Amino acid sequence: MKGNLLCLFLLIQFALNAQFAIVNDADGYTNLRASGSTDAEVLAMVPDGHVVFVDWEFWNLDTPWVPVFYDLNPFSIRQDWEGNSLKGYIHRSRLLNFEYLEELEAVELRFKLAPAGEKLKYYRSDPKFPHKVYNLHFYGVETGMENAMNTESLELIIGGDTIAQSPMLFLDLFNIRFEPKWYSSRKMKLCTEAAHGNRHYIYMNASDGAGGYAIIWVIENARIIQRWVGFTT
């Protein structure tokens, strides 16, 4: 019971500290700049509708430029921890606060969970604290693999249609829930579904009770176009 309360407390803390913004630019993209100036170097062009991470302290400052983190890999797939994310600045007029989006339950994600066990392909010699799983860095395992729940399958459900998703979108996700069964995003605590234009967003938190992470799924035209995964504290 104490473990469950601790896990819930941590997830609430992550939700309070996490701030996400949606790029909203009629040009189809906005520039991520090295500093808060239109003369600064352009580090990347962030597509319209994509998610960036904003430190809540900076988001609440009354400044025209907002420091953000943008993931170069649209699906946050990690084969190393270096060179995957950029920190830069985006003009506030080109960002929408995720919290202000319209809440709308139009899409659903279903996760099939199972104990990690010995079937996973570990890298490095210690199976309790491996360096990688399936040659990928992974999320949600701070207390070790012994009691971890791996995501075995993922389905996107829209209008009654079920669409199976690529293993690359779920093999690195652990401890989304602790029960070995199918689990819907609709039943998760601290899960928010929102919409903007023709894109749908599902924001969720996961944790093993010690290490937590956040996920935002961006869905457009019945497919996942971005999966932002990262740590929010």
pLDDT digits (tens, 9 = 90+) for 214-232: 999 999 999 999 999 987 5
Q: Considering the chain, what is the average pLDDT of its residues?
A: 85
Q: How far apart are CA 171 and CA 149, in angstroms?
A: 11
Q: Are 75 and 97 in contact (CB under 8 A)?
A: no
Final residue in a domain of this structure, among 100, 130, 155: 100
Backbone angles phi, psi at 59, to 5 degrees: -60, -35
Report the amino acid identity of residue 62.
D
Listed in sequence order, the residues at least 6 apart from 4 whose beta carbon sits closer than 8 Å to its beta carbon are none
Which of 100, 126, 157 terminates a domain? The answer is 100
Question: Strand, coil or helix: what is 131?
Answer: coil
Q: How far apart are CA 110 and CA 182, in angstroms?
A: 6
C-alpha–C-alpha distance, residues 66 and 60, integer Å: 9
Distance CA 76, CA 78 (A): 6
**Percentage of the chain with pLDDT > 90?**
52
Q: Check whether residue 111 and residue 96 sit in a common domain.
A: no
Q: What is the pTM (predicted TM-score) of this model?
A: 0.86
Domain boundary among 59, 85, 100: 100
Q: What is the pLDDT of residues 163-202, one digit of tens each?
A: 999 999 999 999 998 888 999 998 887 788 999 989 999 9
Q: 30, 51, 27: which is closest to 196 by C-alpha?
A: 51
pLDDT digits (tens, 9 = 90+) for 61-102: 888 999 999 999 999 998 776 667 899 999 999 999 888 888
Within this chain, do residues 139 and 40 fall inside the same structural domain, yes or no? no
Co-location of 107 and 76 in the same domain: no
If one compares 219 and 125, the residue with the highest pLDDT of the two is: 219
The reply to whether 96 and 106 lie within a common domain is no
Range of the domain at 143: 102-230
- For every residue of 137-159, DSSP letters joined together read --BS-SS-STT-EEEEEEEEEET
Residues 141 and 174 placed together within one structural domain of the fold: yes
Q: Which CATH number covers residue 29?
A: 2.30.30.40
- Identify whether the C-beta of residue 104 lies closer than 8 Å to the C-beta of residue 139: no
- Decide the pairing of beta strands 199-207 and 51-55: unpaired
Same domain, 93 and 107: no
Domain count, the chain: 2
